[in-house]
Structure 1
C-alpha cells in the first residue's frame, strides 16, 4: 500500500494530482521513487547523459542553464527545497528538445522518480499529464523571462530585479553572494555587475561588503526593477 511507503507523504504534498491517482498508481509511484543526494558542484543532468528522472527537492539548490560551445553559460532558473525539477526528465516530454544542463549549487537532498514510470502515469492518467505540461510551461516561461532580460533590459534594471527577487526569498536585507555568483545567475559579466553595484552604493541604495550586499533603500531598487 502507498500509505506504508516512507515517501508517500512527500509525494502527496508535492503533487496536486496525488488524490486523482488510483491506489495502484500511488503504490507504483512510491515504489519507483528513491532518495538521492547531490554534493555541491555535482552535474545532475546534461544532454549527453540518460534521463535522470523527476526530482522533488527536499533541501538544497539546483541551477538550470545553457552552455555555449566556447564554455559560456546562461542561467535559466534555479530550484529550491520543495520545488519539482521536471526537465531533469525531459525524455518524458516528446515536444521538449533542449540541451539543458543542471548542477547542484548546494548540497542537495531530493526524491527521484523514475522517468519511465512517470511517463507511464502520464499516458494513463490525464491529471498527471496536465501537471507535467503545466510544469514544463512554467519552466519555459521562466526561461523566456530570463532571455527577455538579457536581450532587452538594461544592466542596472536587471540587477535591481535580481536583488529584489533574491531578497524576497529570504525576507531580509542582506544577500550573501559574491559578484561572480550574481553575474553567473544573471547571465552577465562580473565587471558589469561590479560596476552597477558600485553605482548603487554611490546612490545610497546598497552597502557592499566582502561576500555580500546589504540593501539600504528597497523602494528605489523596486522602482528601478519596475522600470520607473
Structure 2
C-alpha cells in the first residue's frame, strides 16, 4: 500500500488503494505547467497528493476566469463528469505550486463506483463541494459589485494557501476577475487605505 495515497486520502478503503496502486500513475508537474486545456479529451481523472492547481474557465477570446483551487486530498470533478459522456474539457488547469498527482484512467470510473463504496462516496462528495464552490462564484458575479468580488477573491486565495502573503499581481487579478488592471489597482488602494491589506511590489499582504 502506498503510504502517501493512504495518508492523503484516509477515507479510501485498503482494497481501493490497492486498485489505485495497480492502475494509477504518479506524475509530477512544475509551477506554470498547464496539465489540462480547454477542448481536449480527458483520459485520466486527477488525484492531488501535494501542491496546488488553479482551475480556469476560458472564453472565446482566450480570457481566463478563475473558478477554484485543487489541493492535496482533492480530485478534479470536471474530469470525472467528462468521463461519463466522453466529452471535451471545458476548463483549463494550471499548476500554481509544484504538484504530485495520481492519474487514474477514466475507464475505471464506472467500475469503481460500483465496486468501492469509499470511491463512490468520495466522488459524490467531490461533486457536491465543487458545485457549492461554483455557486459561490456565480453568486459573486451576479449579485456583488466589483469591490465585493475582489474581497471575495482575495479571501479565497488566502484560505487556499493558509497564508496572509498573496503573490498576486494586479494584472493577474484583473485577468481572473475579467476586468481591467486600472480598476483592480484603484480598488486595492482603497482596501489599503481602509487598513485591510498592504500593497507591495510583487505581493499583497492581508492585514485583516
Q: Would you say 1:192 and 2:183 are equivalent positions? A: yes
Size of the aligned set, in residue pairs, is 208
Q: Which residue of 2 aligns with 1:18?
A: 12
Deviation at 1:204, TM superposition (A): 3.2
Q: Which residue of 2 aligns with 1:85?
A: 76
Residue 180 of structure 1, aligned match among 171, 177, 181: 171
Structure 1 segments, 4+ long, off by >4 Å, are 94-98, 169-172
Deviation at 1:169, TM superposition (A): 4.4
| Distance (Å, rounded) in 2 between the aligned partners of 1:85 and 1:71 | 22
Is the alpha carbon distance of 1:196 and 1:163 closer, same or farther for their aligned partners in structure 2, counting shifts above 3 Å?
same
Q: Which residue of 1 aligns with 2:60?
A: 69
Give the CA RMSD over aligned residues. Answer: 2.7
- Report Cα offsets for 1:60-85 as digits up to 9, x if no partner: 32111211112222111111233322
CA contact (8 A) 2:47 2:102 kept: yes
| Distance (Å, rounded) in 2 between the aligned partners of 1:66 and 1:179 | 19
CA contact (8 A) 1:178 1:211 kept: yes
Structure 2 length-normalised TM: 0.83
Structure 1 length-normalised TM: 0.77
Structure 1 unaligned blocks of 5 or more: 219-228
Q: Would you say 1:9 and 2:9 are equivalent positions? A: no
Is the alpha carbon distance of 1:41 and 1:95 closer, same or farther for their aligned partners in structure 2, counting shifts above 3 Å?
same
Larger radius of gyration between Structure 1 and Structure 2 = 1
Is the alpha carbon distance of 1:59 and 1:188 closer, same or farther for their aligned partners in structure 2, counting shifts above 3 Å?
farther
Structure 2 unaligned blocks of 5 or more: none
| Distance (Å, rounded) in 1 between the aligned partners of 2:201 and 2:43 | 37
